């Protein structure tokens, strides 16, 4: 961040500028601030290595395409069924991203849009039928579902073999046993593990702090890290001394959904930072930001994932990989 002197410099530059009025003062000030910030980042000798999600997603996509072509040559077309209930813009955005990824890697994506008023029995019957349909290899629906639907029950109708995002309690429970399972890990948690693997960041024996304990991200990720022999700390909104907890870790993973909660002062050189947060940026309308103050962290730590362009891209790629894996298992076993 800029210090007081740097801020004063910007103010001086602006007040000495001829032909500047109140209307464009704000805009000019923003542009100069961004330039100054960028200069700071560029001239800093301790820049973090950027762990690009794009690169990891591309590598996964290459692998998926090869495997999908192989499956197709044996008469099996890997297929994902996606159910969307209602018209939430976030769900539609994610659905489009899933469709795009599937198309790129040779996975068929069957989408079904249901009205928010759908009766539970009706949706349940569709899920049961799809679970029994041998031409479908993966099933996914967006959550949260509307409050009139019992989400836990509906998730339980997805057979573990096709539960490609670990939605059902039974599949989630398998994660806690360690070792190979019938189901799949949640895509976001698996995406983080894939990023660490791809960039050869060792986790065995390392102190890893996971900020966030949600059932979809924080907890399952902690289990996967434990399986990989990390020493895991799970922190949450009631944790004390969060800055200290983060500072002591070798790897900091943020999944809290709070824009820039993790500040530069919480971090130190040598750390790896994985930012799962996908938040609307309160300082930059319409843009997205992570749970970590990227500008501050970037000049401090050894490696960091950007937002956007980090874990999110890998998550969708992992979903496609899970569908292909499910199809491979089925074609071997079934
Ligand atoms: P969530 O269900 O709201 O859980 C947030 C977790 O963060 C909770 O455990 C909460 O603690 C903790 N927390 C909240 N405020 C905190 C604070 N001030 N200090 C410490 N911990 C705090 O969210 P989620 O579904 O896990 O998602 C987390 C973030 O990841 C969101 O930004 C979401 O958009 C993003 N996300 C990204 C992807 C992706 O693929 N990139 C996928 C899923 C989610 P308590 O348990 O004590 O309430």
Give mean pLDDT, residues 96-100.
Answer: 96
Q: What's this model's pTM, rounded to 2 decimal places?
A: 0.87
Question: Could you give the CA distance from residue 102 to residue 65 in angstroms, rounded to a whole number?
Answer: 10
Sign of dihedral through CA atoms 287, 290, 291, 296? negative
pLDDT score at 330: 87
List, for residues 287-301, the tens digit of each pLDDT value.
999 999 999 999 999
Give mean pLDDT, residues 109-119.
Answer: 97
For ligand 1, atom 41: residue with the closest CA: 312
For ligand 1, atom 39: residue with the closest CA: 312
262 lines ligand 1 (CB under 6 A): no
Of 121 and 5, which is predicted with more confidence? 121
**Of all atoms in ligand 1, which is nearest to the CA of residue 217?**
26
253 lines ligand 1 (CB under 6 A): no
pLDDT level of residue 183 (50, 70, 90 thresholds): confident
Average confidence score pLDDT of the chain: 90
Contact at 8 Å (CB) between 275 and 304?
yes
List, for residues 244-254, the tens digit of each pLDDT value.
999 999 999 99
pLDDT score at 30: 54
Give mean pLDDT, residues 223-246.
Answer: 97
Percentage of the chain beyond pLDDT 70 is: 85
pLDDT score at 333: 73
For a ligand 1 pocket test, name from 54, 166, 185, 237 the mutation site with the most ligand atoms within 8 angstroms of its C-beta.
237
**DSSP alpha helices (H): ranges in 74-150?**
89-104, 120-132
Give the torsion through C-alpha atoms of 267, 270, 276, 279, to 10 deg.
Answer: 40
Q: Cβ contacts of residue 305 below 8 Å, gap of 6+?
A: 50, 51, 53, 195, 273, 274, 275, 290, 311
For ligand 1, atom 40: residue with the closest CA: 312
For ligand 1, atom 48: residue with the closest CA: 237
Residue 18: pLDDT above 90? Answer: no
Q: Cβ contacts of residue 135 below 8 Å, gap of 6+?
A: 77, 79
pLDDT level of residue 122 (50, 70, 90 thresholds): very high
**Of all atoms in ligand 1, which is nearest to the CA of residue 256?**
7
List, for residues 190-225, the tens digit of each pLDDT value.
999 999 999 999 999 999 999 999 999 999 999 999
| Dist. CA 61 → ligand 1 center (Å) | 27
Give mean pLDDT, residues 126-145.
Answer: 97
Contact at 8 Å (CB) between 273 and 247?
no
**Of all atoms in ligand 1, which is nearest to the CA of residue 312?**
41
List, for residues 266-277, the tens digit of each pLDDT value.
999 999 999 999
Helix (H) or strand (E) holding 111: strand 108-114
- Other Cβ atoms less than 10 A from the Cβ of 333: the count is 7
Instruction: Give the bridge partners for 143, in sequence order.
Output: none
List, for residues 45-72, the tens digit of each pLDDT value.
468 999 999 999 999 999 999 999 999 9
Q: Cβ contacts of residue 129 below 8 Å, gap of 6+?
A: none
pLDDT level of residue 21 (50, 70, 90 thresholds): low
**DSSP alpha helices (H): ranges in 160-300?**
169-175, 187-198, 218-227, 242-248, 294-298
Percentage of the chain beyond pLDDT 90 is: 81
Question: Could you give the CA distance from residue 70 to residue 292 in angstroms, rounded to a whole number?
Answer: 41
């Amino acid at each position: 961040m800029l210090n007081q002197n740097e801020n004063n410099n910007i103010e001086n530059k602006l007040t000495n500028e001829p032909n500047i009025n109140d209307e464009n003062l704000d805009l000019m000030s923003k542009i100069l601030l961004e330039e100054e910030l960028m200069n700071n980042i560029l001239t800093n000798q301790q820049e973090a290595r950027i762990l690009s999600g794009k690169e990891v997603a591309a590598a996964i996509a290459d692998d998926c395409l090869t495997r999908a072509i192989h499956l197709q040559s044996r008469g099996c077309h890997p297929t994902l069924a996606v159910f969307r209930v209602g018209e939430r813009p976030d769900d539609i955005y994610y659905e489009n991203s899933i469709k795009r990824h599937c198309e790129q890697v040779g996975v068929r994506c069957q989408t079904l849009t249901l009205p928010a008023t759908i009766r539970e029995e009706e949706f349940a019957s569709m899920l049961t039928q799809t679970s029994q349909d041998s031409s479908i290899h993966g099933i996914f629906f967006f959550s949260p579902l509307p409050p009139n639907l019992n989400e836990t029950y509906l998730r339980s109708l997805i057979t573990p073999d096709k539960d490609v995002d670990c939605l059902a309690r039974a599949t989630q429970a398998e994660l806690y046993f360690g070792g190979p399972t019938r189901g799949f890990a949640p895509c976001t948690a698996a995406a983080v593990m894939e990023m660490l693997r791809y960039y050869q960041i060792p986790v065995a024996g390392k102190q890893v702090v996971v900020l966030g304990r949600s059932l979809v991200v924080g907890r399952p990720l902690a289990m996967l890290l434990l399986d990989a022999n990390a020493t895991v700390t799970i922190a949450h909104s009631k944790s004390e001394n969060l800055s200290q907890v983060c500072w002591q870790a070798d790897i900091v993973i943020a999944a809290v959904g709070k824009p820039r909660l993790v500040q530069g002062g919480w971090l130190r050189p040598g750390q790896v930072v994985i930012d799962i947060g996908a938040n609307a940026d309160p300082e930059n309308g319409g843009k997205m930001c992570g749970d970590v103050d990227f500008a501050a962290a970037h000049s401090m730590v050894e490696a960091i994932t950007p937002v956007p362009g980090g874990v999110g891209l890998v998550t969708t790629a992992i979903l496609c990989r899970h569908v292909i894996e499910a199809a491979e298992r089925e074609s071997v076993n079934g």
